[in-house]
Structure formats: C-alpha cells, structure tokens
Amino acid sequence: MTSGQKFFDEMRGINDVTRAPYDAYASWFQSEDPKGLIKEAKEAEAFFRRTGITFNVYGQADAEERLIPFDIVPRIISSKEWALLAKGIDQRVRAINAFLYDIYHRQEILRAGRVPKELIARNEAFLPMMMGVEPPGGIYTHIVGTDLVRTGESEFFVLEDNARTPSGVSYMLENRETMLQMFPELFSSIKVRPVAGYPTALHASLAACMPPDPSPEPTVAILTPGIHNSAYFEHAFLADNMGVELVEGSDLRVRDGRIAMRTTRGYKPIDVIYRRVDDDFLDPLNFNPGSLLGVPGIFDVYRAGRITIANAPGTGISDDKAIYSYMPDIVEFYTGENAILKNVPTWRCSEPESLAYVLDHLAELVVKEVHGSGGYGMLVGPAASRKELEQFRAKLQAKPGGYIAQPTLALSTVPILTKAGLAPRHVDLRPFALFSPNGVQLIPGGLTRVALKKGSLVVNSSQGGGTKDTWVLEDD
C-alpha cells in the first residue's frame, strides 16, 4: 500500500459519485444542519455513557473502562451485496463445523493431506479430550462472528473467523436502538432490515441444541467470568434481553450428574450454557487447576451428554490463524464447492520459504500472532517505526510458528462525521451467524468497526477504533 493510494469508498465509489445504496441517505444528509448533527453525535455519546456501554482495557494498571466511540453515519449494504455475504458465510460456518467434527473424530482431512497433521497436534487450541465426544445436535459452533473486509465494488475477503466466544453483538443492537431513537424519520423513508430479533433468535437457536434428555423445564443460562471481564456489559445485556440467568462459576455445581445453578429455591438444572469463559478456565478438574472462573466437573457432564456448552470446547482450533490459511481447502473438502468468500493471501511463518519472504518484506506486511486477538501482538508494517520492525523481526526469528503474515489490503472506507463534515475511514464488518440443527441463521447486519484515526487500518476498540450502525437494505 502506497501513499496516495485510491481506496474504494462505499458511499462515493472510486469516482466520487454517490453509490445507489447511499442515495436516499445522501439526500437526507444534504438537507440536515451540520451543527445539529454534531449535537446529535454528542447526545449519542452521552446516551452510551448513561447506559454503561463500555469495555475494560486489559494490560493497563487500572484496567480502566472506556466508552467505545460511536459514529452516527451508518454503513449501508444493499440487499444484493448482503445476499452474497450471507451465502458465503452460511457455506463457511457449515464447513467449519464439519471440520471440527472431523478433527475430533476420524480426522479424514488430515489423512487426505489437505491440512498438515502437525498443525493440529502442536496447536494449543486443540483439545485431545474432545476426541470422540458427540456434541448435542452435532453442533460445535453455535455462534460465529466472521470478520470481513472489502477492497472493491464486489470484492470481499474474510479476515478471520471467530468461533470461540465471538463478542460485539450487543454493540450492534445498541447502535441500532440509538439510531432509531435519534433519526426515526430516516427509518420511515429508508427500508432497513431489523436486527432487534437477535436475542430471541439466539435463545431459540440455543434451545434447539438441548441435550438428548433435557430437564422438565429446559433452561438456558449465560456463563460469565464476572464484572472484570472486558465484555461483561455484553454478557449482562444478552442475559437480560434473552430472559435467562447470568451466572458465574461459583453459582454452579454438579448435582445428580447434571449442572445446576443456585436459586432462592435451591439448585435448578441447566440444559444449555452459553459460555463466555475460555476453554482453559472452564473446568479446573480437567483444564487449568488454578481457575476460579469455571465449574469443577462440567466437562465430564458435557462428555456424558447431559449439558450443551455453546460454543463447544475445542472450537478454538478453527479460528487459529494458521488454520485460517487452509480455509479454502477446508471449504472445498467438506462442501465440494469453491469458497464463495475469499481468504486474504497468507504466509505461514512456520514454513522457511514464507518466513524468508516475510522477513524481506516486513515493512510491507501485516504480521499477526496465530492465537492473537483484539489487535494485540500484531505489526502493521507500513505504519511501524524502524525500531518496531526490528523488534518484531527478532520475535519472528525466535518463534516463527507463532505468526502468519498478510499483505496490507486497501480496505474500503466509509464516511464518519467530523467537525469539518464527512471524512473517509477504514472499516471491517463482523456479521453474526447462529447455527443449530435447524440450519444457519444470519442476522442482517453486524458490527461495523471503524478506524477513527485518519489513515489507520486498525479498527479494534482496544486500539482506538469505534463502531457504526450497519444497515442492510430491504430488496432493492
């Protein structure tokens, strides 16, 4: 990526002509008072602050709570564009689930040589204890967040798959609610597909994954690590909107071969746990013995088929960034089809030739930790100083298998509201898919994350990014 490079702007295209999905919004925007919109933006920020829509920042002395900046200019996607994305995500989610089932059973994809055996055997996200376990309904990935980027009119790429404990859906819902309250006239004139049904859809999808012999009153609960977790707001938000209990490990115990939660009337069996606790902390008897966040014995109950855990333990192997580089093969192996959504070209630093290329072109590439997330532990070569490049070079040489590298894509831009008017900023998109024995259900929209700093490609909230409401239009 070079200075002065032309990026595809989703509102203005590449020829500075308003694209069709934005026509109605652009007309509305031109009729509005800029000062009034700036005032509305400040009111939105105040609303988010009052509501407590914050996240905790790890790695800082006081683990401060921050407000995720919200931009009031929506990102707009046409129904045709969404249909393509939905078809591609449906295909990918099914392939990931089939891959997980295979990896924890016959491992046919390894026998066929389509994925290297050592990539699984040496992977810390692989759980040998899941071998042979039959998850209720055959579902491993009940909730998947697929990170997408765009580089042109019809060019979309999957940046990464989030199949462990994908977060951000509460911001998608709150962003829409805020926009509905602030600009009701917009939603009267522009037909936008709703997202408010997500909590109901999530509950129904989880309920469809009950274990074979559920309790007389089937119960779903959300397991949270507690108030100090960076996504605690979302855990509480979803529990409230789904009408289910929000529990911590200390609220649960094994009783009569089931997992039960403490209530004012004694212990009540739980059938489905939507867990927001990582594998390592889920069960101190089977995983990290020092964990105070999980439930002793829950994995034994799970293996016995007496509870559903969403997402299933061991799903992290599928969103490993080294496995990601094999996703086109994985999709083709399990579906017999070419992947609808492209992968970003990826160099696996564990391979000597790839490592040599990455070291020679470090200043041009984005380098990521295989198990990294949240924008941490990565290098954006074009934005890095000479010192940062040399430090990262040493990391790569010391532990090449811990990293992958990708080209610096010319990410699309969408406008944000500034005091000087609209200004383009880079974005990505995380749609949320629900998977149950009834099929894949995709919520029409998702979380658009925006890099608020001019020229920045890092959209993560932990790295200074913000969010937008994502509009998927009704039929064009």
Residue 70 lies in a domain: no
- The tens-digit pLDDT sequence of the chain (476 residues) is 444 567 899 999 878 899 999 999 999 999 999 889 999 998 888 887 777 665 554 444 344 566 788 999 999 999 999 999 999 999 999 999 999 999 999 999 999 999 999 999 888 899 999 999 999 999 999 999 999 999 999 899 999 999 988 999 999 999 999 999 999 999 999 999 999 999 999 999 999 999 998 888 889 999 999 998 888 989 999 999 999 999 999 999 999 999 999 999 899 999 999 999 999 999 999 999 999 899 999 999 999 999 999 999 999 999 888 899 999 999 999 999 999 999 999 999 999 999 999 999 999 999 998 876 555 678 888 888 999 999 999 999 999 988 999 998 889 999 999 988 899 999 999 999 999 999 999 999 999 999 988 888 778 776 678 999 999 999 86
Q: What is the CATH classification number for the domain harbouring 262?
A: 3.40.50.11290
Domain total in the chain: 2
Q: Alpha-carbon distance 60 to 348, whole Å? A: 31
Residue 24 lies in a domain: no
Check: CB of residue 293 under 8 Å from CB of residue 227: no
Residue 263 lies in a domain: yes
- Residues listed for the chain: 476
First to last CA, the chain: 34
Q: Which of 408, 430, 448 delimits the end of a domain?
A: 408
Check: CB of residue 53 under 8 Å from CB of residue 236: no
Q: Which residues make Cβ contacts (< 8 Å) with residue 53, sequence separation at least 6?
A: 67, 68, 170, 171, 174, 233
Residue 245 lies in a domain: yes
The pTM of this model reads 0.92
Q: 105: closest CA among 79, 78, 134, 84? A: 134
Residue 375 lies in a domain: yes
Q: In terms of residue numbers, what domain contains 376? A: 345-408
Which DSSP state fits 99?
Answer: H
List residues bridging with 448 in a β-sheet: 429, 468
Q: Which of 386, 408, 430 delimits the end of a domain?
A: 408
Q: What is the CATH classification number for the domain harbouring 353?
A: 3.30.1490.270
